Amino acid sequence: MIDFHAAAVEVTAPEGRLTILHPATLTLAEPRISVIGANGSGKSTFARLLNGLVEPTSGSVRVQADSWLDTVTDGAAVRRRVGFTFSDPGAQLVMPTALEDVALSLRRRYRRRTERDEAARAALERFGIGELADRSVHTLSGGQRQLLACASVLATDPAILVADEPTTLLDLRNSRMIGDLLMSLPQQVVLVTHDLDLAARADRTLVIDEGRVVFDGDPAAAVAHYRGLA
Ligand SMILES: Nc1ncnc2c1ncn2[C@@H]1O[C@H](COP(=O)(O)OP(=O)(O)OP(=O)(O)O)[C@@H](O)[C@H]1O
């Protein structure tokens, strides 16, 4: 569960103060929530507020894991419970091999190296990329990196997953695989996407336009609203 209370984001740009997200008050309780909108409308800003990667300049964003946590004052605890995958997986893959990358995200949970590597290998298998365990992340295709980034984040078993354009780099087969996976996870999922078919599979869809949530509700109606804007 996620709660926005008059949360807004302003930045300082050469042309002065800009509001990139106007105050939003909403509660996200549905298991699958999709966020759609044009390039530059504010979707990533909205998504990054959910785990404190972006802090609201006014208002607040709180997430409920075991208790309610504020994304600013409880930032580290929020980031342990809210997993985030970036549209560019290169931004989050930091270790030389696929296995080491997943193992890194498991270092808090498993102190012993052998247990950690075993759990990391199991996470890779779950995503159908077990055979890539010992490959250098630099030799992976864009789609394989995206799958690895998802495996690394989900291996930590976050309470909520925020996925920012997780299928952008993927071919049809892998987009379907990631889409099916996101729709079947036990965690709450907030998904930012330009894939309107995938967005429509959510329980609730937000449309963001010029920094405002301009539609919030039924996914099919949201997609129709977005098409109307375009
Ligand atoms: N730190 C910043 N300083 C100035 N402008 C910013 C900053 N962060 C974001 N913006 C601007 O805010 C707007 C919203 O950006 P955001 O990345 O949230 O859009 P988006 O909807 O995710 O776009 P896309 O679909 O292209 O990824 C854009 O115009 C962007 O240039």
pLDDT digits (tens, 9 = 90+) for 148-182: 998 899 988 899 999 999 988 788 888 888 899 89
Pair of tokens at residue 62: 């709180």
Find out whether 23 and 7 touch, Cβ atoms under 8 Å.
yes
* Mutational pocket test of ligand 1: of 17, 19, 34, 45, the residue with most ligand atoms within 8 Å of the beta carbon: 45
CA of 128 to the centre of ligand 1 (A): 33
Residue 101 is classified by DSSP as H
- Give the CATH number for residue 93: 3.40.50.300
One-letter-per-residue 3-state SS of 215-228: EEECHHHHHHHHHH
The stretches of 82-200 forming alpha helices (DSSP H) are 98-105, 113-126, 142-154, 172-184, 196-199
Structurally, how many domains does the chain consist of?
Answer: 1
Between residues 107 and 50, the one the model is more confident about: 50
**pTM metric for this prediction:** 0.92
Distance of alpha carbon 50 from the chain centroid: 9
> What was the pLDDT predicted at 116?
94
Find out whether 56 and 75 touch, Cβ atoms under 8 Å.
no
CA of 42 to the centre of ligand 1 (A): 6
Residues 6+ apart with CB under 8 A from 103: 95, 113, 116, 117, 119, 120
CA of 2 to the centre of ligand 1 (A): 22
Residues of the domain holding 121: 2-229
Confidence of residue 89 (pLDDT cuts 50, 70, 90): confident
